[in-house]
């Protein structure tokens, strides 16, 4: 357990270093003058941009060598200081506290919906291999996983917001606003988790101990509950760590599409405005969210499978 936590803490430290360097390098590699973009974001398009850009350049030290600027940025990160947004002037931690809440609500709702949809469908498909449930779930998984999140989101807006009028097409604040963006992410996640659960259940059903449970007269629901659910849960829970990548990628697109003021939405605007501290802050928050999810998955697998603890 101590080794697991130490490994995750080391990964988090390395992630902070890599993300800090990449964010700085990629934003600086974008074409155009960063001082002009920052000045436009601060003072608007009607201001005297050339004079404002020179003020911004001197204020932020953008005329210094890039290595000096990178060293200053990494030095702030080493002191756990994310700095202030170069556009709004607000502390990054203050902005992240507001945006992280919206992202966590969306991510949590999407994960909960995907767990309600994917594993139960996979369980039914695995128990009836080759049946119509198995074939229908395979076809649905192929269609849903092949659609990019923004296409799936637009289709949900078209049907559930415009044609049927059940949910608002965008917005944030109520559960009705959260329904379509959470469903957009959840369908993609459930498409894969249902197939992982199906294969895991089918593998357990073929084992000798499950056949023995049936032969000794256990009712089918009892045999499934005692011998299938926990054994099949191990690969499904392990796959949740990989799904976190899809979730974090999808959050950026879905928040922008539905107008949710979360971290993904803030990241897109920060890249456009060349706001390096904000880009670093949002990317670090996403990276740490991924590390936290994978650590939780490791702990869940540690609890579900006692064999490594006995060796």
Q: Which residue, among 224, 247, 230, 234, has the nearest Cα to 293 in the 3D structure? A: 247
| pLDDT score of 4 | 67
Query: Residue 7 is encoded by which pair of tokens?
Result: 């490994």
Q: Find out whether 6 and 60 touch, Cβ atoms under 8 Å.
A: no
What is the C-alpha to C-alpha distance for residues 135 and 126, in angstroms, rounded to an integer? 11
The reported pLDDT for the residue numbered 300 is: 77
Give pLDDT, residue 55: 80
How far is C-alpha 72 from the chain's CA centre? 29
Q: For residue 306, what pLDDT is reported?
A: 64
SS (H, E, C) 54-123: HHHHHHHCCCCCHHHHHHHHHHHHHCCCCCECCCCCCEHHHHHHHHHHHHHHHHHHHHHHHHHHHHHHHH
Cβ distance 122 to 198 under 8 Å?
yes
- Please report the pLDDT score of residue 45 as a whole number: 65
The span from the CA of 253 to the CA of 263, in Å, is: 11
Got the DSSP string for the chain? -HHHHHHHHHHHHHHHHHHHHHHHHHHHHSSS-HHHHHHHHHH-TTS-HHHHHHHHHHHHTTTS-HHHHHHHHHHHHHTT---B-TTT--BHHHHHHHHHHHHHHHHHHHHHHHHHHHHHHHHHHHHTTTSHHHHHHHHHHHHHHHS-HHHHHHHHIIIIIIIS--S-SS--SSHHHHHHHHHHHHHHHHHHHHHHHHHHHHHHHTSHHHHHHHHTT--HHHHIIIIIHHHHHHHHHHHHHHHHHHHHHHHHHHHHHHT--SHHHHHHHHHHTT-HHHHHHHHHHHHHHHHHHHHHHHHHHHHH--HHHH-
pTM above 0.75, yes or no: no
Give me the tens of pLDDT residue by residue for the chain, a chain 311 residues long: 666 667 777 777 787 788 888 888 887 787 777 787 787 777 776 667 777 778 878 887 878 888 888 888 888 777 777 778 888 888 888 888 878 888 888 888 998 898 899 889 988 998 888 888 889 988 988 888 888 888 999 999 999 999 988 888 888 878 888 899 999 999 988 888 888 888 888 888 888 888 888 888 888 888 888 888 877 777 777 777 777 777 777 788 888 888 888 888 888 888 887 788 888 888 888 888 777 777 777 777 777 776 655 55
CA distance 222 to 49: 72
Q: What pLDDT, on a 0 to 100 scale, did the predictor assign at position 309?
A: 57
* Confidence at residue 267, expressed as pLDDT on a 0 to 100 scale: 82
């Amino acid at each position: 357990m101590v080794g697991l936590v130490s490994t995750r803490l080391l990964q988090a430290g390395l992630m902070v270093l890599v993300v800090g360097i990449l964010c700085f390098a990629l934003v600086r590699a974008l074409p155009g003058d960063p001082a002009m973009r920052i000045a436009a974001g601060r003072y608007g398009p009607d201001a005297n941009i050339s004079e404002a850009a020179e003020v911004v350049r001197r204020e932020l030290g953008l005329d210094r060598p890039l290595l000096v600027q990178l060293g200053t940025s990494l030095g702030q990160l080493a002191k756990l200081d994310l700095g202030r947004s170069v556009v709004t002037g607000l502390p990054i931690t203050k902005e992240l506290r507001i945006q992280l809440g919206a992202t966590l609500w969306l991510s949590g709702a999407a994960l909960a919906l995907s767990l309600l949809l994917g594993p139960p469908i996979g369980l039914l498909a695995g128990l009836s291999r080759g049946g119509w449930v198995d074939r229908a779930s395979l076809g649905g998984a192929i269609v849903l996983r092949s659609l990019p999140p923004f296409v799936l989101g637009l289709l949900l807006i078209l049907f559930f917001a415009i044609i049927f009028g059940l949910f608002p097409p965008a917005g944030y604040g109520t559960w009705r606003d959260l329904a379509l963006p959470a469903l957009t992410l959840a369908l993609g996640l459930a498409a894969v988790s249902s197939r992982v659960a199906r294969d895991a259940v089918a593998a357990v059903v073929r084992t000798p101990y499950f056949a023995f449970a049936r032969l000794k007269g256990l009712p089918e629901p009892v045999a499934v509950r005692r011998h299938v659910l926990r054994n099949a849960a191990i690969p499904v829970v392990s796959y949740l760590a990989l799904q976190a990548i899809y979730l974090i990628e999808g959050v950026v697109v879905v928040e922008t599409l539905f107008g949710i003021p979360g971290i993904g939405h803030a990241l897109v605007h920060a890249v456009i405005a060349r706001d390096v501290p904000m880009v670093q802050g949002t990317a670090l928050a996403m990276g740490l969210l991924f590390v936290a999810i994978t650590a939780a998955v490791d702990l869940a697998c540690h609890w579900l499978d006692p064999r490594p603890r006995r060796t």
